[in-house]
Amino acid sequence: MNKPLYIYNTLSRKKEEFKPLVEGHVGLYVCGPTVYSNSHLGHARPYITFDLLYRYLTFLGNKVRYVRNITDVGHLEDEVEGVGEDRIAKKARLEQLEPMEVVQKYMNTFQHNMDQLNIIRPSIEPRASGHIIEQIQMIEEILEQGYAYEINGSVYFDVEKYNKDYHYGKLSGRNLEDTLTNTRKLDGQDEKKNPFDFALWKKASPEHIMRWPSKWSDGFPGWHLECSTMSTKYLGEQFDIHGGGMDLTFPHHECEIAQNTASKGKEAVKYWMHNNMITINGQKMARSLGNFITLDELFSGTHEILEQPYSPMTIRFFILQAHYRSTVNFSNEALQASQKGLERLMSAVDVLGELKSSEASTVEIKGLQEKCFEALSDDLNSPIAIAHLFDGVKMINSIKAEKETISADDLQELKEFYHTMVFDILGLKKEDETASADNETVAGLMQLVISLRQNAKTAKDWATADKIRDKLKEIGIIVKDTKDGAEWEKE
RNA sequence: GGUCUCGUGGCCGAGCGGUUAGGCAGAGGUCUGCAAAACCUUGUACAGCGGUUCGAAUCCGCUCGAGACCUCCA
């Protein structure tokens, strides 16, 4: 594909042609989860979005280093009482666990859920707790440059000072003066020179469990710092793409820019990409709002608002059917539609494998492929690409129904194309794979059953033929009579 | 209050100045012993009111409604 890839850059608020700093190599950093409870549907969105990006960039011939952190140091939670408490530490106390035990538990389930969604694991999945030394180093650099100050064992970023030399707010489109007048007063911030200053290092209160020694105090790093530190460490002082959820744009990513710029004197990220939120009843799905459905609940159908379980691939397909910068609204109806649509797409891929070629094609293959790649190259427009794939489904079914024909060359090309698009780029996979050891046995048995039923049909013994079909249906096998004999598939 | 986004047919969701998006659901038909699948045909849209234009879902203004960020969040 020699069409350029365009991606929407939050910095410029428009689509830009993507050109890596080093041709053929792409550095990609995506903000990972804070592992203090189960992953929910909302989490699926960014990681599927950036998995698509990763897969597509790779398909386009790039070598991609994909870094996605695990936040295991915990973010400060602003309690009503004003006592900031570390989320992970809090959870640990509630569950009587070591903080690292909490982290391990939820990191495991997160990774398992991501595997289920067929999300390729990143090249590096660094943990904040493993980079305390690097974070301390970066704080020192920022202090040296004069953009931070220490007070009572804590270190804060001096936003006002920084804003004199650079623009704090360039990513989220705000200026400091407005921010100043509109920042809410929060408790426990008396130490800071200004309310919008943010912590680089925070002294731990006596009861705070997660703590590390530093020259300033026994404490822990500020929450924005880990991403600056780890992206720099693994991708360099400048790299190509930084991604994450829209809700992280401010303040998290704004702070990251400030930290990188303050410590290194230059901006790190060339393209900022942000995915939109998943909504439920029109409202953002978030842990803090308590309206979330965990991925495990979705896969098992155990949440009360779910009418049925939805498989990981249904979820993946559902998310890919919306553009990543639009909100996508959850509903049972929408997910059921995705499930059926996905089944139709996947069975067309199966049909493709059985198609017979003819002398010449009455169908046109090239245009379909171009349209799909064009869509993906236009800021990852997966819904458009999928729409074109469905046009292809119609084509494939017409060939099967012998209303259209396809040449051997075209058929080969079409097969490869669908394989690439569906499996490699969109990252969908077949879900009904039974244990392979069973498959041959089952296939043999089914062949026998089908042939016995065929005998019954030939003898016009409909009662027997229908009984076989009905009983098979009861155990989850669908029999379909076609012109070329009966076919079967698992439900 | 400030900044910003969005309102598309029964549902989800593209399009963003002139052309059928697509999926699911619905209706009719072909095929079939019946069923399923597949195929064909098909209806229902662009929140409202003004304006710009030969032409607007698409641009501008206003009204109404919804949401996001400004505090942890994917």
- Whether residue A81 is predicted with pLDDT greater than 50 in this model: the reply is no
User: What pLDDT was estimated at residue A179?
Assistant: 67
Cβ of A370 less than 7 A from strand B: no
Q: Which A residues between 384 and 403 have a beta carbon under 7 A from any strand B atom?
A: 384, 386-387, 390-391, 393-394, 397-398, 400-401, 403
User: What pLDDT was estimated at residue A182?
Assistant: 58
CA distances (Å), origin A338, targets A18, A102, A310, A330, A346 = 31, 34, 10, 11, 12
The topology (CATH level 3) of A19-275 is Rossmann fold (3.40.50)
Confidence band, pLDDT 50/70/90 cuts, at residue A135:
very high
Is residue A255 annotated as involved in ligand binding?
Answer: no
- Whether residue A77 is predicted with pLDDT greater than 70 in this model: the reply is no
User: What pLDDT was estimated at residue A175?
Assistant: 82
Is residue A227 annotated as involved in ligand binding?
Answer: yes
Cβ of A281 less than 7 A from strand B: no
- Whether residue A269 is predicted with pLDDT greater than 60 in this model: the reply is yes
Confidence band, pLDDT 50/70/90 cuts, at residue A491:
low
C-alpha span between A151 and A407 (Å, rounded): 75
- Whether residue A320 is predicted with pLDDT greater than 50 in this model: the reply is yes
Rounded to an integer, the average pLDDT of A369-390 is: 94
Nearest nucleotide, CA A330 to C1': B12
Nearest to A465 by CA among A451, A450, A453: A453
What ipTM score was computed for the predicted complex, to two decimals?
A: 0.93
Cβ of A189 less than 7 A from strand B: no
User: What pLDDT was estimated at residue A180?
Assistant: 67
Nearest nucleotide, CA A246 to C1': B74
CA A283 to C1' B68 (Å) is: 9
User: What pLDDT was estimated at residue A192?
Assistant: 86
Cβ of A170 less than 7 A from strand B: no
CA A390 to C1' B70 (Å) is: 42
User: What pLDDT was estimated at residue A291?
Assistant: 87
User: What pLDDT was estimated at residue A82?
Assistant: 42
Q: Which A residues between 468 and 487 have a beta carbon under 7 A from any strand B atom?
A: 469, 478-483
The three-state DSSP-derived secondary structure of chain A is CCCCCEEEECCCCEEEECCCCECCEEEEEECCCECCCCCEHHHHHHHHHHHHHHHHHHHCCCEEEEEECEECCCCEECCCCCCCEEHHHHHHHHHCCCHHHHHHHHHHHHHHHHHHCCCCCCCECCEHHHHHHHHHHHHHHHHHCCCEEEECCEEEECHHHHHHHCCCCCCCCCCHHHHHHHCCCCCCCCCCCCCCCCEEEEECCCCCCCCECCCCCCEEECCCHHHHHHHHHHHCCCEEEEEEEHHHHHHHHHHHHHHHHHHHCCCCEEEEEEECCEEECCEECCHHHCCCCEHHHHHHCCCCCCCCCCCHHHHHHHHHCCCCCCCEEECHHHHHHHHHHHHHHHHHHHHHHHCCCECCCCCCCHHHHHHHHHHHHECCCHHHHHHHHHHHHHHHHHHHCCCCCCEHHHHHHHHHHHHHHHHHHCCCCCCCCCCHHHHHHHHHHHHHHHHHHHHHHHCCCHHHHHHHHHHHHHCCEEEEEECCEEEEEEC
C-alpha span between A365 and A23 (Å, rounded): 31
Nearest nucleotide, CA A317 to C1': B23
CA distances (Å), origin A389, targets A116, A148, A370, A476 = 23, 53, 11, 28
Cβ of A90 less than 7 A from strand B: no
Q: Which A residues between 44 and 63 have a beta carbon under 7 A from any strand B atom?
A: 45-46
User: What pLDDT was estimated at residue A189?
Assistant: 53
Cβ of A279 less than 7 A from strand B: yes
Rounded to an integer, the average pLDDT of A198-227 is: 91
Cβ of A43 less than 7 A from strand B: yes
- Whether residue A433 is predicted with pLDDT greater than 60 in this model: the reply is no
% pLDDT > 70, chain A: 93
- The structure tokens listed for A178 are 């407005």
Rounded to an integer, the average pLDDT of A359-363 is: 87
CA A272 to C1' B6 (Å) is: 22
CA distances (Å), origin A423, targets A31, A418, A433 = 25, 8, 15
- Residue range A279-425 in CATH 1.10.8: no
Cβ of A173 less than 7 A from strand B: yes
C-alpha span between A73 and A208 (Å, rounded): 12
Q: Looking at per-residue confidence, does A230 or A190 come out higher?
A: A230
Where, residue-wise, is CATH 1.10.730 in chain A? 279-425
CA A151 to C1' B30 (Å) is: 81
CA A483 to C1' B37 (Å) is: 11
Residue range A277-314, pLDDT digits in tens: 999 888 899 887 888 899 999 999 999 889 889 999 99
β-pair partners for A149: A156
CA A249 to C1' B69 (Å) is: 8
End-to-end C-alpha distance for chain A, whole angstroms = 37
- Whether residue A53 is predicted with pLDDT greater than 60 in this model: the reply is yes
Query: Looking at strand B, which nucleotides approach a protein CB closer than 7 A?
Result: 1-4, 10-15, 21-25, 31-40, 66-74
Residue range A12-24, pLDDT digits in tens: 988 999 999 999 9
Where, residue-wise, is CATH 3.40.50.620 in chain A? 19-275
Identity of the highest mean pLDDT range in A59-68, A177-186, A196-205, A327-336: A59-68
